[in-house]
């Protein structure tokens, strides 16, 4: 059941009263005609997204400013609500007089909502959020009625089957369930938009900063007056990444630690681990498989089931509770897997049937990767959709942004490099074709997150997991240029060999960063072998630290003050419990 949003002020209570009146009206006049009641609800619900999207569009044209992805969100919502209305018109079959009333009611509510949105946009979004909550209640009652009287469970209209991709034999019960889920999603989106307006209004006064203490810091109670305290270089200054405010320019790199359950559900100790490191400007959570097919190691987390999503939500909530920002890295390992981990013990998939000289770990221990099979052309679209669904689940879990993992010899990197991609179709051969999968994935996830909340990770010269390319300069120049044009939040580059030599192959990373930003990308992020001196002298926008964060939950504080670092215990890097994971000490003065 949907968790009801509690009102924050008087206008919220007014919004609740209005929405309860609208549902009371629908329930009273259509107490037994649930189909007509749904038409009334959707008549009202179909208006706000269209109105708000149009008004924001006009404002953006006038001020030449970014819409932060709101227009697409709102117009997608409007289209979704329009399909709800069309579906229930098909089911209820209102007469022509009733259809006339629908048009009249939409016109009336259109004018009311337009005026409300122009002058009180926060209240307008809150009103819609509360209205959608009431709609969820109404659809739950509708569902119970149909389940108790199966004679009402008519065949689903074809328009609903096509739009929601339901089974051909779908019934009314199936339609009500998906519509109810849609309404719950719309409620959450509108409440978050209202929250964002609140944040914008008060951001100048309420920027959260870190107050360091001997014990574990309390990131939620710092005073704004301390913003400039202890800053020795710009590495420690607060900054922004698109519309996200960051404490500093230090990023916690994604680190596989294998502390999830066997079924890929994030655990309570993972929430402790990440929240301890919330002083990082941005946390990029460990690589997380988008499907079972995308898994390559035991005990790594997933984001493709409800249980996994809820597990991640616990992690995100705890990080946000400390004022931190957290990003999820989406991952498909491709050929770096084993049949024991694959659905139905099938062979792992790859762009081409070329086995890597690499190993993975299972519950039984280390093992060579299994022989892969080449992906059929039609299967690639399914993987792209898996990424989109994973992004949807990440947003549901509350992640501030997402990162697409296109490095370290995993699936996307396998498509990019000519040593592992020998395809002769539109995903192989030329650089443009080999980069096609990455670009399609970015386009898919951008339907969930705005582009300024999407990053990607590449390792141009890393041969980790038996990967290489004959012309990495040209390949990754194309990638940086094309993804820069999409105005993504950042490009995260592993400089050199993953976890090794930073100069393994000559490569102009500065040129790569410039290409990305000159074409519209927002920020550059560097990774691999950075220490305090190198990080403080670099010209990149963000610096990602990996291993140092493992043993130093307060790494930012230690770097800023030149304090000694804890040494990590490599024996506890992968798998296990709290030992070597969430038990490393904070600096004690």
User: Annotated active-site positions, please?
Assistant: 410
* Of 509, 496, 498, 494, residue with least CA distance to 539: 509
Encoded tokens for 228: 């400039």
User: Distance (Å, rounded) from C-alpha 57 to C-alpha 67?
Assistant: 7
* Of 137, 285, 248, residue with least CA distance to 557: 248
For residue 457, list its beta bridge partners: 405, 492
CB 208 within 8 A of CB 219: yes
* Of 337, 434, 441, 453, residue with least CA distance to 381: 441
Apex 549 CA angle, 546 and 553, nearest 5:
165
Sign of CA pseudo-dihedral 43, 49, 51, 54: negative
Encoded tokens for 96: 């022509």
Length of the chain: 589
Encoded tokens for 469: 């390319």
Q: Quote the longest CA-to-CA distance of the chain.
A: 78
CB 360 within 8 A of CB 367: yes
CB 269 within 8 A of CB 299: no
The single residue listed with the structure tokens 């499907």 is 291
User: Distance (Å, rounded) from C-alpha 414 to C-alpha 351?
Assistant: 7
CB 129 within 8 A of CB 187: yes
Sign of CA pseudo-dihedral 439, 440, 445, 447: positive
* Helix or strand (DSSP H, E) at 437: helix 436-445
User: Distance (Å, rounded) from C-alpha 312 to C-alpha 328?
Assistant: 9
CB 297 within 8 A of CB 256: yes
User: Distance (Å, rounded) from C-alpha 359 to C-alpha 202?
Assistant: 51
CB 442 within 8 A of CB 456: yes
For residue 491, list its beta bridge partners: 456, 524
Contacts of 538 (CB under 8 A, 6+ apart): 526, 530
- Could you tell me where the DSSP H helices lie in 64-120? 70-92, 96-119
For residue 288, list its beta bridge partners: 330
CB 406 within 8 A of CB 412: yes
**φ and ψ at 455, to 5 degrees?**
-120, 175
Contacts of 424 (CB under 8 A, 6+ apart): none
User: Distance (Å, rounded) from C-alpha 551 to C-alpha 545?
Assistant: 12
With 0-12 / 13-18 / 19 or more C-beta atoms within 10 angstroms meaning exposed / middle / buried, residue 415 is buried
């Amino acid at each position: 059941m949907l968790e009801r949003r509690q009102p924050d002020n008087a206008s919220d209570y007014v919004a609740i009263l209005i929405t309860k009146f609208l549902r009371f009206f629908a329930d009273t006049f259509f107490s037994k005609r649930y189909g007509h009641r749904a038409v009334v609800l959707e008549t009202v619900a179909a208006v706000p997204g269209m109105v708000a999207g149009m008004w924001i569009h006009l404002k953006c044209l006038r001020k030449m400013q970014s819409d932060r992805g709101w227009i697409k969100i709102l117009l997608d919502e409007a289209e979704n609500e329009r399909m709800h209305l069309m579906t229930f018109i098909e089911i209820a079959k209102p007469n022509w007089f009733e259809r006339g009333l629908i048009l009249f009611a939409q016109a009336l509510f259109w004018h009311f909502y337009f005026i409300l949105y122009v002058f009180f946009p926060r209240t307008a979004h809150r009103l819609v959020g509360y209205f959608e909550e009431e709609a969820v209640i109404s659809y739950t009652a509708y569902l119970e009625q149909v389940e108790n009287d199966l004679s009402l469970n008519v065949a689903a209209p074809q328009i609903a089957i096509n739009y929601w991709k339901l089974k051909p034999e779908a019934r009314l019960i199936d339609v009500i369930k998906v519509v109810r889920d849609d309404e719950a999603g719309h409620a959450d989106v509108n409440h978050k938009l209202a929250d964002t307006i609140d944040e914008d209004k008060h951001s100048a006064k309420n920027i959260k900063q870190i107050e360091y203490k001997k014990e574990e810091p309390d990131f939620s109670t710092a005073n704004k007056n301390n913003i400039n305290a202890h800053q020795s270089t710009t590495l420690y200054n607060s900054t922004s990444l698109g519309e996200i405010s960051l404490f500093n320019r230090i990023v916690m790199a994604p680190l596989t630690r294998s502390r999830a359950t066997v079924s890929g559900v994030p655990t309570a100790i993972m929430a402790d681990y990440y929240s301890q490191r919330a002083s990082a400007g941005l946390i990029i959570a460990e690589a997380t498989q988008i499907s079972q097919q995308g898994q390559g190691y035991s005990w790594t987390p997933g984001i493709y089931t409800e249980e996994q999503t809820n597990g991640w939500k616990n992690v995100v909530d705890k990080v946000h509770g400390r004022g931190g920002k957290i990003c999820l890295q989406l991952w498909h390992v491709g050929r770096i897997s084993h049949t024991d981990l694959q659905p139905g013990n099938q062979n792992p998939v790859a762009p081409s049937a070329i086995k890597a000289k690499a190993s993975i770990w299972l519950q039984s221990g280390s093992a060579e990767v299994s022989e892969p099979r080449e992906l059929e052309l039609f299967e690639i679209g399914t993987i792209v959709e898996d990424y989109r669904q994973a992004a949807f689940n990440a947003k549901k879990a509350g992640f501030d942004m997402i990162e697409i993992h296109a490095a370290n010899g995993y699936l996307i990197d396998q498509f990019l490099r000519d040593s592992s991609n020998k395809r002769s179709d539109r995903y192989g051969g030329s650089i443009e074709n080999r980069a096609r999968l990455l670009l399609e994935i970015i386009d898919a996830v951008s339907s969930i997150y705005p582009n300024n909340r999407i990053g990607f990770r590449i390792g141009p010269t890393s041969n980790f997991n038996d990967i290489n390319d004959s012309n990495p300069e040209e390949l990754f120049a194309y990638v940086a240029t094309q993804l820069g044009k999409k105005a993504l939040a950042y490009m995260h580059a592993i400089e050199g060999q993953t976890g090794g030599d930073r100069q393994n192959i000559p490569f102009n990373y500065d040129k790569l960063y410039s290409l990305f930003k000159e074409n519209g990308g927002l920020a550059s992020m560097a990774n691999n072998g950075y220490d305090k001196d190198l990080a403080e002298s670099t010209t990149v926008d963000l610096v990602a630290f990996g291993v140092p964060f493992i043993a130093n939950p307060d790494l930012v504080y230690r770097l800023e003050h030149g304090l000694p670092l804890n040494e990590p215990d490599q024996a506890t890097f992968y798998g296990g419990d709290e030992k070597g994971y969430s038990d490393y000490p904070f600096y004690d003065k």
